[in-house]
Amino acid sequence: MSEQPKLELIYFIVRALAESPQMMMRYAGVEYRYEMAWDYYGKPWSEAKLEVAFGQLPVLVVNDTVHIWQSGAIVRYLAKLTGTMPKEPLLAARVDAVFEQTQELFASLNPTVNIRIGEEHLKFKEMFLSSFPGILKNFARQLEHSDEGPYFFGSKPYYCDFSAYHYFSLATILQRDILNAYPSVMDFMVEVENLSGVKEYLASRPEIIDVGTAPKLIIDGIAKPTGTKPS
């Protein structure tokens, strides 16, 4: 077996695109470091972004030399390291379809939970809550296609499951009972939450508070405003 590469995941103070990668690595026992952009680059993000491919994060740095950007590319690379990528091409395509479907929730959920405040937050929250029930119904239908369950493609979690969990959990921050109409989705959430490694990660990750007014993550006991700057 080849030696595990050195992995550094670079991002911000948000609960967003770094969640699926971290859950996957914790599930598989893959070691990594999570670093804030200003710590890794040694300068404010406004300056560092000029040096980063397409000026965007997250970035996964492999063996100090290769920088992978785009969250989907990061997740697919890690899927092979974590055993959450199907070997069979047709199943891999189906897993990828569910993953891509979850990614479409990014614009409506990640900024609304992590960044937007006041009237803007309320506007986007209302838009999301009006559209999500129909979307969730389709996800539930996909979950129920598998008799073996509880994941989208049976009894084994693949990378799409970690992404779906992330977005579903963000949705419950906006409305606690939003998943309750679908027992298959509720069962799915419980199963992901109890995966070895994931359970420990979820119990230890920073709590998010004051969503919609002044969102913060509790890091080492200190409430730090979310965003692209150190508090």
Would you place residue 2 in the very low, low, confident or very high pLDDT band (cuts 50, 70, 90)?
A: low
**Contact, 45 vs 39, CB < 8 A?**
no
Range 45-48 contact pairs with CB under 8 angstroms and sequence separation of 24 or more: 45/12, 45/228, 45/229, 46/228
Share of the chain above pLDDT 90, in %: 94
Which pLDDT value is given to residue 146? 76
Which pLDDT value is given to residue 217? 97
Instruction: Find all residues with CB under 8 Å of 181, minimum gap 6, and list them.
Output: 133, 136
Neighbours of 101 (CB within 10 A): 17
Structural domains for the chain: 7-83+201-225 (3.40.30.10), 89-194 (1.20.1050.10)
Q: What is the pLDDT of residues 126-173, one digit of tens each?
A: 999 999 999 999 999 999 987 788 999 999 999 999 999 999 999 999
Average pLDDT over residues 59-64: 98
Which pLDDT value is given to residue 107? 87
CA distance 180 to 226: 28
Average pLDDT over residues 100-110: 94
What is the enclosing helix (H) or strand (E) of 33? strand 33-36
Residue 68 has pLDDT above 60, yes or no: yes
Query: How many residues does the structure list for the chain?
Result: 231
Would you place residue 48 in the very low, low, confident or very high pLDDT band (cuts 50, 70, 90)?
A: very high
Average model confidence (pLDDT) across the chain: 96
SS3 assignment, position 171 = helix
Share of the chain above pLDDT 70, in %: 99
Residue 1 has pLDDT above 60, yes or no: no
**Contact, 11 vs 36, CB < 8 A?**
yes
Q: Rounded to two decimals, what is the model's pTM?
A: 0.96
Which ranges in the chain belong to alpha helices (H)? 19-28, 37-41, 45-48, 71-82, 89-103, 106-114, 118-144, 159-174, 183-193, 198-204
Which pLDDT value is given to residue 126? 97
